Amino acid sequence: MIGLIHKIVRSHLKAAAQTGIHFLMSSNKQGYFEHRKQTLSSLNSRQLLGEREVKTLQAMLQIPDKEAFLEGKTVLDLGCGDQYIRGAFEDRGASYRGLDIDECDLEAQVFPVLSDSQDIAVCLALIEHMYDPGNFLAETLRVLKTGGLLWLSTPDIEACGAKFWNDPTHVHPYTRASIKTLLLMNGFADVLVTPNYRCKPMYHYRNTDFNFLRARFLLPFAGTSRLAVPEWIKGHCTGLFALAKKAEMGSVT
């Protein structure tokens, strides 16, 4: 009888602990969301950054007519924050929708988006905040059309090192190899991982050792540097871009 009582007590304690952990995680996510909204820079600078982000995506696309590619496309911005990339996509004829934690817990819940409805899913500086991205990637795959693209960014732990942990909401670091493996394991195909250069010529967006060496050591100035230095020595970065495709069944590579 005493043993049974102990089992019941342990069961209740375990359930309470799990509830507390879930509440803490939810509180941390909500706190991050509120902090991010409060610390964003001015509207004009955010819009300019959004323009740079979309131009970078266009540079990464290995297609003949990059300018016309976004016309008529549906774009889902996951972890959208202030939706700073919205204008740049809509100016190019795309239909934009933003989704964030105030509407859906992207790590744990079903996205309120129809299956096979999106041409492009964007996930910028989000996945490193997730303990387990399995649900997020499964849902992203579900809502993408066949042939649709996932474009994401995340810090490169091999390049930024301990600075990754300066953001207390970072919980999961990635490397060039691990982010590619993660996407392939979760059903994506044709995965391209590159340094997170902005607005560079297409040859910068290749998964080569030299490209990563150049991003970390050979380019001394950030792409946004206001110093009067030539553009060709700008581009220092310590993050990753990944571009992946939702393939047809049985054709994952």
Q: What is the pLDDT of residues 232-253, one digit of tens each?
A: 778 789 999 999 999 976 555 5
Q: What is the pLDDT of residues 36-76, one digit of tens each?
A: 555 444 557 888 889 999 999 999 987 777 778 999 999 99
Question: Which pLDDT band, with edges at 50, 70 and 90, does 33 fall under?
Answer: low
Phi-psi region of 155 (alpha: psi -120 to 50; beta: other; left: phi over 0): beta
Question: Which pLDDT band, with edges at 50, 70 and 90, does 30 fall under?
Answer: low
Provide the strand spans (E) within 12-92: 74-78
Task: Report domain extents, the chain.
Answer: 1-39, 45-246
Phi-psi region of 235 (alpha: psi -120 to 50; beta: other; left: phi over 0): left
Domain 45-246: give its CATH code. Answer: 3.40.50.150
Supply the pTM of this predicted model.
0.80
Cα–Cα distances (Å) from 163 to 170, 218, 219, 237, in that order, read: 10, 20, 19, 13
